[in-house]
C-alpha cells in the first residue's frame, strides 16, 4: 500500500488482510450515502467494535489499541477534527483522519480501496498505520491487557 511510511514501526513484518466489497455493493452504499448526505467523521461509523476509553471515542479495536499504546507510553494523542479534501469520481470530497499524534495527523487503516488510495495520494502528510505497523502495538496491548482488551471500553 502507498502512503507516508509509518514512523512508528518501520520494517516490522506482517501481511495485509482487507475487506473487499463487490462493485454492486460499493455502488449501492454510495447511492445511500449521497441520499442521506453522509460525509465527514461520524462517531461510531466504523465497522469495528466501538466505545469510549479514557475520554477517547474509538471506532475499532485497532484504534483502541493505538490509544492505549500512546497513553501507556506518554505519546501525545488527540482525536483529529481537521477535514482533509480529495477528489473522487470527479467530485471534491472531505474526510477526517483519525488522530493527531505528536503533532502528526495519523490514520489507522485496516482496509484498502481505490478511494482510499486517492485520499492518501492527495494528503501525503497523513501518516498511515497499516496492519504491518499495528502488529507490534496489538501485541503490546494483548500482552499487557489480554486478548479481550476491547472489554476495557467504558
Q: What is the mean pLDDT of the chain?
A: 82
pLDDT higher than threshold 70 for residue 77: yes
Domain assignment present for residue 110? The answer is yes
* Predicted pLDDT of residue 111: 86
Question: Is 82 a member of any domain?
Answer: yes
With CA atoms as reference, report the closest residue to 6 among 134, 152, 146, 151. Answer: 134
Burial class (CB in 10 A: 0-12, 13-18, 19+), 33: exposed
Q: Tell me the pLDDT band of 71, cut-offs 50, 70 and 90.
A: very high
Please check whether residue 76 lies inside any domain of the structure. yes
The pTM of the whole model exceeds 0.75 = no
pLDDT, tens only, 10-56? 443 333 334 566 666 656 665 555 555 554 444 445 556 899 999 99
Residue 87 within a domain: yes
Which residues constitute the domain of residue 82?
A: 49-152
Establish if 24 belongs to a structural domain.
Answer: no
* CB distance 110 to 18 below 8 Å: yes
State mean pLDDT over 57-82: 96
Report if residue 91 sits inside a domain. yes
Please tell me the predicted confidence (pLDDT) of residue 49.
Answer: 86
Distance from the Cα of residue 49 to its chain's centroid:
13
> What's the structural domain count of the chain?
1
The per-residue pLDDT for 87 is 97
Q: Per the domain annotation, does 145 fall within a domain? A: yes
Amino acid at each position: 500500500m502507498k502512503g507516508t511510511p509509518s514512523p512508528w514501526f518501520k520494517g516490522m513484518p506482517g501481511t495485509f488482510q482487507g475487506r473487499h466489497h463487490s462493485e454492486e455493493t460499493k455502488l449501492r452504499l454510495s447511492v445511500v450515502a449521497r441520499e442521506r448526505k453522509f460525509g465527514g467523521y461520524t462517531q461510531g461509523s466504523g465497522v469495528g467494535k466501538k466505545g469510549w476509553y479514557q475520554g477517547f471515542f474509538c471506532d475499532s479495536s485497532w484504534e483502541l489499541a493505538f490509544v492505549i499504546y500512546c497513553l501507556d507510553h506518554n505519546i501525545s494523542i488527540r482525536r483529529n477534527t481537521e477535514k482533509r479534501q480529495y477528489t473522487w469520481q470527479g467530485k471534491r470530497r472531505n474526510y477526517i483522519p483519525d488522530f493527531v499524534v505528536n503533532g502528526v495527523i495519523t490514520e489507522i487503516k485496516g482496509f484498502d480501496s481505490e478511494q482510499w488510495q486517492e485520499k492518501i495520494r492527495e494528503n501525503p502528510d497523513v501518516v498511515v498505520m497499516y496492519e504491518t505497523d499495528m502488529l507490534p502495538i496489538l501485541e503490546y496491548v494483548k500482552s499487557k491487557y489480554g486478548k479481550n482488551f476491547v472489554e476495557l471500553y467504558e
